[in-house]
């Protein structure tokens, strides 16, 4: 792949990613504004506002690191890694189009919202560490091994999945659980694809991957 094509694809990717996540952010703000305008808030309204605030913070951070990220030095080979990355990123957004979820007790809704806030909050922290190395597609920019990346090799997938579990619980149905399982399978494949790229781009990646677990922060004895 020529450097000119890679640079063009990177610019196009930045535009598309920012447009998508900014639109998602505006939709959350718009929905939250309707709740804020109510004279009386229900417990569900408060939970929605809390999860929306966490979501807006995360989406905004994604836009920041996308705009400021470094140009790629090594892309993946073939189309499959890119299709998998796109599906893994955007498939969970289909939850809102699924059949009506189960009516859950308030305690379960609070627990799910807590997972969303924890997942989104820690994702923002991981994004701050990842910074200019951020990429949705399997592309190498620079190797990050400090902070959360010294605990697991893919901390952003871990923290995002905590939030995803919360979203699935709030939209609980056979369909949302099935969608969540499919999304996690795609994320596992993304990890493999990204590691192939990082291993090819950075000679020290093998040493790093041998010392740090992949996604579960437990080192084998």
Two structure tokens written together for 53: 């605030």
Whole-angstrom distance, CA of residue 69 vs CA of residue 177: 33
Two structure tokens written together for 60: 């905004």
3-211 adopts what CATH topology?
1.20.120
How high does pLDDT run on average in the chain? 90
Domain boundaries, the chain: 3-211
User: What stretches of 96-169 adopt beta strand conformation (E)?
Assistant: 139-140
The terminus-to-terminus CA distance of the chain in angstroms comes to 42
pLDDT for 220 = 55
Residues 190-209: tens digit of each pLDDT:
999 999 999 999 999 999 99
Q: What is the pTM of this model?
A: 0.90
Two structure tokens written together for 50: 């809390």
Q: What parts of the chain have a pLDDT lower than 50? A: none
């Amino acid at each position: 792949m020529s450097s000119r094509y890679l640079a063009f694809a990177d610019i196009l990717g930045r535009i598309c990613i920012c447009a998508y996540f900014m639109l998602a952010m505006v939709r959350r703000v718009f929905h939250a504004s309707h709740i804020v305008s109510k004279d009386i808030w229900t417990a569900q309204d408060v939970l929605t506002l809390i999860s929306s605030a966490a979501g807006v913070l995360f989406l905004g951070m994604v836009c920041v690191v996308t705009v400021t990220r470094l140009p790629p030095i090594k892309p993946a080979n073939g189309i499959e890694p890119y299709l998998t990355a796109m599906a893994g990123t955007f498939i969970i957004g289909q939850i809102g189009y699924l059949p009506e979820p189960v009516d859950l007790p308030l305690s379960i809704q609070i627990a799910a919202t807590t997972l969303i806030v924890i997942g989104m909050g820690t994702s923002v922290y991981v994004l701050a560490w990842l910074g200019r190395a951020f990429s949705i597609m399997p592309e190498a920019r620079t190797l990050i091994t400090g902070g959360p990346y010294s605990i697991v090799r893919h901390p952003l997938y871990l923290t995002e999945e905590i939030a995803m579990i919360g979203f699935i619980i709030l939209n609980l149905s056979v369909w949302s659980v099935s969608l969540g399982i499919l999304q996690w399978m795609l994320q596992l494949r993304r990890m493999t694809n990204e590691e192939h790229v990082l291993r090819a781009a950075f000679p020290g990646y093998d040493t790093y991957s041998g010392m740090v677990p992949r996604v579960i922060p437990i080192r084998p004895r």
